[in-house]
Amino acid sequence: MTVTAEKTRTGRDEGEPPSRPVRASSRRAWRPWLLLAPALAVLAALLLWPMVQVALLSFQNYGLRELNRGTTRWNGVDNYVSILGNADLWRVVLPNTVVFAVVAVALTVLVGTLVAMLLARLSPLVRGLVTTAIMVAWAVPAVTGTYVWIFLFTPPDGPALQFLDWLGLLDASTANPFADRIAFYAIAAANVVHHGFPFVALTVLAGLMTVPKELTEAAIMDGASAWRRFRSVTFPMLRPVFAVVTVLSTIWDFKVFTQIYLMPGGNGVNRGVLNLGTWSYTESFAQNKFGTGATVAVLLTVLLLVITLAYLRLLFKEEEL
């Protein structure tokens, strides 16, 4: 009687799994993935597949002969052993890449934040004019911007060199900043910061517009300085915004290529200014060692992933959210 009543009430035997609700729930769970499938397929074709090919190439001894014949010569981890055992990687290439990226990211975020705070204080009309002006720097292609900075520092008649000579800081007739490792990367950093700060400024400005004015006014009434207001009120509320701009700037500045390669000596002539991006390119296309170049590219990708994940883990700890 009890079993019959239970079966009549539920429409199925006790212990029989529900079919229709589970199937409907399964269909609902798959619908978003079906909608995303075309975009994911395009991303896989344009990003994932080339990355897999580069990774496979890094385990090959691949040069012009293999390229012409269409053959493959696997050499295991020999490329990685050769690259990791190369003294230039640890003395020149890796320090150039890491130090330059750290300095460029810090300056880009700092300058962009200061500009955003300035824009937030301006009237809407003036803010629109200034925003339009700084957007010009972002709209200029990297190639064009790099040649402008080369013109400014080209010895001996570069306007920037002439100005520094006028200040007595150097002799424009003999100085060549592109031959010096530190001066070379100082110019490259200025170029990258000039090109990248508008993105940070506009992103942080959008975040500043969401900060409640009541919190800032309360901090002012409590006697908090501008720095204390930023540290205790603005920065905690804009932590996700700073995370985004910092991670993106880190990715862009670690793999910067155009601004380095186009500068005098950056194409491999001056081995002292190579970074991972230009080293990978010169190994592949200047020396026709495509397997070695692919190995450097893989190492750069791994380095970027490790740094990005470590930064996100540090920034978004569960107890800080």
Do 147 and 41 lie in a common domain? no
Give the total number of structural domains in the chain.
2
Least confidently predicted of 15-19, 30-34, 83-87, 117-121: 15-19
* Partners of 74 in beta bridges: 60
Residue 91, in any domain of the structure: yes
pTM of this prediction exceeds 0.95: no
Print the domain residue range for 150.
82-320
Do 258 and 302 lie in a common domain? yes
| Residue 316 predicted with pLDDT over 70 | no
Do 168 and 298 lie in a common domain? yes
* Chain mean pLDDT for the chain: 84
| Residue 14 predicted with pLDDT over 80 | no
Among positive and negative, which fits the CA dihedral 268, 274, 277, 280? positive
Least confidently predicted of 65-69, 80-84, 194-198, 245-249: 65-69
Do 45 and 88 lie in a common domain? no
Do 42 and 117 lie in a common domain? no
CA distances from 278 to 6, 226, 273, 282, 290 (A): 74, 42, 9, 6, 13
Residue 66, in any domain of the structure: no
| Residue 2 predicted with pLDDT over 80 | no
Residue 2, in any domain of the structure: no
Do 295 and 190 lie in a common domain? yes
Residue 57, in any domain of the structure: no
Which CATH number is 287's domain given?
Answer: 1.10.3720.10
Do 32 and 93 lie in a common domain? no
Least confidently predicted of 97-101, 105-109, 313-317: 313-317
Residue 306, in any domain of the structure: yes
Question: Which is more confident, 266 or 216?
Answer: 266
Do 88 and 44 lie in a common domain? no
Give the integer Cα–Cα distance in Å for 153 and 157: 8
Which structure tokens are listed for 119?
A: 């824009």
Do 157 and 116 lie in a common domain? yes
pLDDT in tens, 267-301: 888 999 999 999 999 988 888 889 999 999 999 98
Do 38 and 93 lie in a common domain? no
Q: Tell me the Ramachandran region of residue 60: left when phi exceeds 0, alpha when psi lies from -120 to 50, beta otherwise.
A: beta
180: Cβ contacts below 8 Å, ≥ 6 apart: none
